[in-house]
Amino acid sequence: MGLLSVTPIQYKHLLLVNRESGKSPVMVGPLLVKQKKEKLYSKLLVDFLVDQEPRVKNLCTLETDGETAIFLAFKERFVFLLVLFCAIHLRRYVTGKIVALGIEESETREICADIFGVQVGTQLKERIIEVWETRSGDKEFHLWFQRYKVDVILRHVLKPVHQKAGFVHKNFTTNCVDCVNSMLSDKTDQQPHQLPNFEMKMRQLSQRQRRN
């Protein structure tokens, strides 16, 4: 069968609040264990969530690290869904592309500042075009960014989009999701497991969280 991948759903237990931080604890929700990162498998997860909790039908915002299959599956079910992509994950991806193109470190910092620095509405696209066209080393990256990433940033990453979703003071990140991923990794000792053993460990983790 080969290695399987896991997509965890996390949520905040709003009935509990940490006295020191004032925040609700992050809980592990349903897990999707799949062979491929395809929309078909993600749709099964979306359908399960709606069947188990009818109030999910009122979902208006989706927070994701940008995985295409998850994004498309939710968007197909919830037509008017506002989707937020994690700024940290996108920055890592964009930086990786810059490094792969061999752009110098000084220009890398300038490009990242252009994209992830102070942004004013849809002026991002026009400002970047004007600036990058004057720097010859950026042209190949500029073409890639124009084709694959600028619309993603405008629709899912810019500060006004996050503010619309209620993130008033900062951009959305998937730190809570990463927290759950870390819990899963610790529980499995960061090693592959046979499916029955993995299922047992996840049930133990869920039971421990409920007790705490």
Q: pLDDT tens digit string along 53-108?
A: 888 888 888 877 777 888 888 888 888 888 888 777 788 888 888 888 888 887 77
204 CA to centre of own chain: 26
Residues above pLDDT 90, as percent of the chain: 0
User: What pLDDT score does 120 carry?
Assistant: 46
Q: Give whole-number Cα distances, 24 to 12, 37, 55, 61, 106, in Å.
A: 6, 30, 20, 19, 41
Over residues 5-60, the pLDDT tens digits come to 787 777 777 788 888 888 887 777 778 887 777 778 888 888 888 888 888 888 88
pTM for the whole structure? 0.63
